[in-house]
Amino acid sequence: MTDHPPVEIYDELDSTNAEARRRAEAGEGGPVWITAGRQTAGRGRRGRAWSTETGNLAATLLTTTDVSAAEAAQLSFVAALAACDLADACLGEGAARLKWPNDVLVFGRKAMGILVESGSRPDGRLWLAVGIGVNLAHAPTDIERPATSFAEHMAGPPPKPADAVEILATRFEAWRKLWATQGFTPIARGWTARAVGLGQPCEARLPNRTLTGVAEGMDPDGALRLRLDDGGLERITAGDVFFGAGA
C-alpha cells in the first residue's frame, strides 16, 4: 500500500490546478493527486504560463484543511522540499537547491514550478490545490530565467511521469506529516539546509517597489528577512528574489 493519496492520471487537461479547483467548487475535497501528460493552459505563479510537454510531469494535490489560509500557504514550502527530494532521487544527492520562496533549481537552473491555490468551502474549511510542474524530459526556452530538465543531466532516459509522481507524492506526504504534527519548524530547517543565496546580495522585486540588500534567512512564518543596504530590515512575504546574475 502506498503512503500517499491516490493518483489519477490523464492524457491531457487544460490545467491540473484548474481541474482541482473545479472539483473543489463542486464539493470534492480529496485528498487526491491529479496528473496530466500534457497541459493546454498550465499556469505558474503570478499568472505566468507553464508549459507541460509530453514526458514532463504536471501534478496537483487536491485536499482540504482546517488551518488558516496564511498557515496553509506554508504547504508551498512542503511542496518545494518534496520536489527537491524527487530531483535528488533521480539525479543524485545535492542536485537540487531551493531559492525563496519555492523555486527548485537543478544544477543552478529552474526545473520545477509550484503553485498553491485555495478557496473556502461551505463547511468553513479550506480546499487546497498544490500544483507542481516538473521538467522531466523537456525544458522551455522562451522564459526569462534559464531552465533545465532532468534529461539534460542523465545518461539514460528521464523517469516517466507516472514513476516520478509516485516519488513526489510519497515525499510530499512525509514532509506534510512533519508539518501537521510538528509545525513549520522542521520545514523551515529542511528548506534552509537546501537554500541558495542566504548571506548574499539580492534584489527583491515586489508588486510596487524593488528592494536591494542581503538575504539573511527565513522567519518562522516563511517570510524572507532582507537586510537592506541602509541597514534596515524588511520582511518579504511575496515577490521575486534575484541573486547574482539574475538567478
pLDDT in tens, 7-25: 999 999 999 999 999 999 9
pTM exceeds 0.85 for this model: yes
| pLDDT score, position 51 | 57
Is residue 247's pLDDT more than 80?
A: no
| pLDDT score, position 213 | 93
3-state SS assignment for residue 134: strand
Q: What is the pLDDT of residues 66-98, one digit of tens each?
A: 999 889 999 999 999 999 999 999 999 999 999
CATH number for region 201-243 = 2.30.30.100
Rounded to an integer, what distance in angstroms lies between the CA atom of residue 101 and that of residue 52? 22
| pLDDT score, position 46 | 45
Residues in the chain: 247
Rounded to an integer, what distance in angstroms lies between the CA atom of residue 95 and that of residue 149? 12
**Portions of the chain given CATH number 3.30.930.10:** 7-193
Q: 52 is written with which cell numbers? A: 507541460
Confidence of residue 189 (pLDDT cuts 50, 70, 90): very high
**Portions of the chain given CATH number 2.30.30.100:** 201-243
pLDDT, mean of residues 152-157: 94
| pLDDT score, position 242 | 85
Confidence of residue 45 (pLDDT cuts 50, 70, 90): very low
| pLDDT score, position 47 | 47
**Architecture of the domain delimited by 7-193:** 2-Layer Sandwich (3.30)
What distances in angstroms separate CA 36 from CA 60, 116, 226, one per listed residue? 9, 17, 38
| pLDDT score, position 118 | 94
Confidence of residue 210 (pLDDT cuts 50, 70, 90): very high
The candidate with the shortest Cα–Cα distance to 5, out of 134, 169, 120, 175, is 169
pLDDT, mean of residues 53-64: 92
Q: What is the pLDDT of residues 231-240, one digit of tens each?
A: 999 998 888 8
